[in-house]
Amino acid sequence: MRPTTVDDLRADAARNRARVLEVARELLAAGEATLPMNTIARLAGVGIGTVYRHFPTRQALLESAVMGGFEQLLAEAQSAAADDDPGAGLERLLRYGIRLQLGDVGLAAVLRSPECACARTSRLRADLLKAVGRLLERAREAGAIRPEIGADDVRRLSCGIVQAVRAGSSDEAEIDRYTNVLLCGIRPDR
């Protein structure tokens, strides 16, 4: 028996699922990353059982709500991995990824999380790490980064920059300063 997909849902179930996702995205846009399931059910006009039927955990709901942002980040990583100048591609990816996370608290939370709740998110994360790994290998070969820097290091460091910016004023100068410090730190000693 194959798993149920969104395409398999009855029209009313599909509407309920879409409404739950819409409410979750509205809460995320307002900066609420905890996604209280009871509140989401109430705001979506569905029962709590309906929410859990579609999203068995809060993490599954969070991952589903930020899927578009995750796909954008993956596309940017794949583009950066194909850049003729891997150092420039890495810098562009880091700046893009940090700003994307700053604009999407849900995506930042998913990227910080050590594990995924959904198979689709696991696949996207694996693809993201693979693209970043290719980019880093090319950057190492070009002498643009330290040899010990790996794809998961980049993920964790960029998440740290996002946390540092959120703890401060979050102005453009601060974002650029912290990103520049990160870039200097991953470059080889000269």
Nearest to 104 by CA among 39, 159, 182: 159
Q: What pLDDT digit, counting tens, does each position of 115-143 carry?
A: 999 999 999 999 999 999 999 999 999 99
What is the distance, to the nearest Å, from the Cα of residue 123 to the centroid of all Cα atoms in its chain? 13
Q: φ and ψ at 3, to 5 degrees?
A: -65, 150
Q: What is the CATH number of domain 6-64?
A: 1.10.10
Record the tokens describing residue 163, joined without a space.
Answer: 């946390």
Which pairs count as long-range contacts for 94-100, CB under 8 Å and 24+ apart, including other chains? 94/154, 94/158, 94/179, 94/182, 94/183, 95/179, 97/73, 97/158, 98/158, 98/161, 98/162, 98/165, 98/175, 98/179, 99/175, 100/69, 100/72, 100/73
**Confidence band for 168, pLDDT divided at 50, 70 and 90:** confident
Give the tens place of pLDDT for each residue, 26-48: 999 998 989 999 999 999 999 99
| Complete DSSP assignment for 114-133 | SS-SSHHHHHHHHHHHHHHH
Look up the CATH architecture of domain 67-186: Orthogonal Bundle (1.10)
Tell me the average pLDDT across 85-114.
Answer: 94
Closest CA to 144 of 76, 86, 83: 86
The tokens of 11 are what? 């029209």
∠ at Cα 185 (180, 190), nearest 5°? 110
Check pLDDT > 70 for residue 3: no
In this model, does residue 169 exceed pLDDT 90? no
pLDDT at 25 over 50: yes
What rounded mean pLDDT belongs to the chain?
A: 91
Q: What is the pTM of this model?
A: 0.87
- Asked if residue 152 has pLDDT above 80, the reply is yes
Round to whole Å and give the CA distance between 36 and 127.
30
For the residues 75-99, what does the mean pLDDT come to?
A: 96
- 3-class SS at 161? helix
Residue carrying the six token digits 């849902």? 9
> What is the distance between the alpha carbons of residues 166 and 102, in angstroms, rounded to a whole number?
8
Q: Would you kindly state where each structural domain of the chain is located, as residue ranges?
A: 6-64, 67-186
Q: Is the pLDDT of residue 170 over 90?
A: no
